[in-house]
Amino acid sequence: MDIFKFIKKVQENRVIQESLEFPTNFTWGTATAAFQIEGHPDEYREKLSDWAEWLDEPEKVKSPNGAGLAVKHYEKLEEDLTLINDLGAAAYRFSFNWAALHRGPDDFHEETLAFYERLLGGLKVKPFATLVHFVLPNWLAKEGGWENPNTACEFNNFVKFLLENFGEKIQHWITFNEPNIFLGFGYESGIWPPGKTNDLNGYFKAYQGMLTAHELAYKSIKEFNPSHQVGFSQNMYYFQSYQESQEGKLGDVNKPKIKPETTTNTSHISPYKRRVDLDLVPAMIRDQLHNYSFIESCLDMGSLDFLGVNYYTRFIYKFSTQAKDPANPDLDSLLWGQLQNTPESQHNSLGWEIYPEGLYKVLSSEKFKKLLGDKPIFITENGYSHIESSPEDKDLEDSYRIAFIKSHLESIHRAIQENVNIQGYFYWSLIDNFEWALGMEPRFGLIHVDHETYNRTPKASYHYYSDICKTNQVI
């Protein structure tokens, strides 16, 4: 099905369903991350971060990469603040630029601090602060990054510095954005720094380092003010085995299927027979590794006040002998297999399947509900990307993004009706930005940025989302 049929489907649904009311106090917001928008004047020039250095290798980042300027948020802060405040959302999720703020042991940068004072001073909405959104200060990356236990200690010094300066202004702290994506791209596929391929040893060392860092930060923040709320944001896919997706079943990898025997003459065999689905076990392993392990570790340590869920797509697992890494075929195919699509799949411009049902499935699965219990959940990211393929193809009348938002909010609303404690939604992203290895072309924003002039223009979806934020209803 193409995207326009999808939009039509959503519109038809709109006629049937009047409007969806969200709970009072539901927090509406948008999200960004420092490296993706700022273009900090020193960062790229002085190679302050691992990503600033990574940009210099043209085969690693799709052009144009904007020479590290992203969308010049650093320069255009006041204009962006007006757009954030005028949207009508109650919250804004941003990330601190650790690399620009913390330039060596005990070396904190006053000018960058002043930038964040202006940001937090000018915000009229509640800040949700992310402390690490993938990027590392280069002086720490060069010493092994998260694999080196010293990084967690320096991170804790950074957290204390932020608490001294902003501890009175920020109540919600997100220690890490998507540790699973960082580890997967940094240590399995190697497409992001530190660029290691199928390095399981490094993967688990870094995992441990990040977990320690989360724990230290949790304690420091709670010591500063016990009522502050600390969590992290996890990228969650809806994992499904290929066979389940082909059968059109709403397969749940947490519940292996048992199918009644259909033959009539069955007296000699068990009435139930396990369906042979070779893709189910790897999908379950992936679900555990990708979605759940870090959450469980934080819960075991008693250091999670809320969970941030970032949801983009479904992952249909199919075992593949066509491994991405020919040097290591077994590991690669076992861990990832191949992302498949079904004939009905609709996609965004990056080929990611649009599958709102998957968000509902993740949030309402028995495993998720049992683990999280009544803990608050915030959807800290969810968004649609468009690539402008010609000068006429401007991403301004973005009905596809509107349909995307509406359909995902319906899934969230459905989960809330089933008593999942979802307290907020942050659209990714406030503004078009730098999409990591994919460069500047994919646009996720509610606000359009002209890459030549850096002019900002709110898209149709900005106004649509603004209405939702102001009325607490989805129409």
Question: Catalytic site residues?
Answer: 178, 381
Minimum Å gap between C-beta 375 and ligand BGC is 21
310 binds ligand BGC (CB under 6 A): yes
Distance CA 35, CA 43 (A): 9
Which range of residues in 101-109, 176-184, 283-291, 328-336 is near ligand BGC by CB under 6 A?
A: 176-184
Minimum Å gap between C-beta 373 and ligand BGC is 25
Minimum Å gap between C-beta 308 and ligand BGC is 10
Q: What are phi and psi of 160, to 5 degrees?
A: -65, -35
DSSP classification of residue 443: B
What tokens appear for 268 in the block?
């000699």
DSSP classification of residue 474: E
Minimum Å gap between C-beta 31 and ligand BGC is 8
Of residues 201-240, those binding ligand BGC (CB under 6 A): 235
Distance CA 281, CA 166 (A): 46
Of residues 61-120, those binding ligand BGC (CB under 6 A): none
* Inter-residue contact 186 to 193 (CB < 8 Å): yes
Minimum Å gap between C-beta 382 and ligand BGC is 9
In the list 65, 97, 138, 177, the residue contacting ligand BGC (rule: CB under 6 A) is: 177
- Provide the residue type at 77 as one letter: L
Nearer to ligand BGC, 94 or 207 (CB): 94
Q: Which residues contact 172 (CB under 8 A, 6 or more apart)?
A: 91, 126, 127, 128, 129, 228, 229, 231, 306
Task: Please list, residue by residue across 213-247, b when 16 or more beta carbons sit within 10 angstroms of its beta carbon and e when fewer do.
Answer: bbbbbbebbbebeeebbbbbbbbbbbbbbbbbbee
Nearer to ligand BGC, 146 or 428 (CB): 428
Minimum Å gap between C-beta 310 and ligand BGC is 6
* Inter-residue contact 426 to 379 (CB < 8 Å): yes
Site size for ligand BGC (CB under 6 A): 10
Q: Pairing mode, if any, of strands 338-339 and 314-318?
A: antiparallel
Q: Which residues contact 86 (CB under 8 A, 6 or more apart)?
A: 466
Minimum Å gap between C-beta 187 and ligand BGC is 16
Distance CA 52, CA 103 (A): 14
In the list 7, 33, 131, 335, the residue contacting ligand BGC (rule: CB under 6 A) is: 33
395 binds ligand BGC (CB under 6 A): no
398 binds ligand BGC (CB under 6 A): no
Minimum Å gap between C-beta 248 and ligand BGC is 28
* H helical segments located in 194-241: 200-224
In the list 181, 339, 396, 460, the residue contacting ligand BGC (rule: CB under 6 A) is: 181
Q: How far is CA 57 from the centre of its chain?
A: 25
Q: What angle do CA 215, 218, 219 make, to 5 degrees?
A: 90
In the list 381, 395, 432, 441, the residue contacting ligand BGC (rule: CB under 6 A) is: 381
Nearer to ligand BGC, 98 or 242 (CB): 98
String of DSSP letters for 422-459? EEEEEEE-SB----GGGTT--B--SEEE-TTT--EEE-
* Inter-residue contact 323 to 332 (CB < 8 Å): yes
Q: What are phi and psi of 316, to 5 degrees?
A: -95, 120
Q: What are phi and psi of 314, to 5 degrees?
A: -100, 150
340 binds ligand BGC (CB under 6 A): no
Nearer to ligand BGC, 132 or 170 (CB): 132
* Stretch 431-470: interaction string toward ligand BGC, x if CB under 6 A: ----x-----------------------------------
50 binds ligand BGC (CB under 6 A): no
CA quadruple 105, 157, 292, 173: dihedral sign: negative
Q: How far is CA 327 from the centre of its chain?
A: 30
178 binds ligand BGC (CB under 6 A): yes
Residue for token pair 């964040």: 116
Chain positions contacting ligand BGC, by CB under 6 A: 33, 36, 177-178, 181, 235, 310, 381, 428, 435
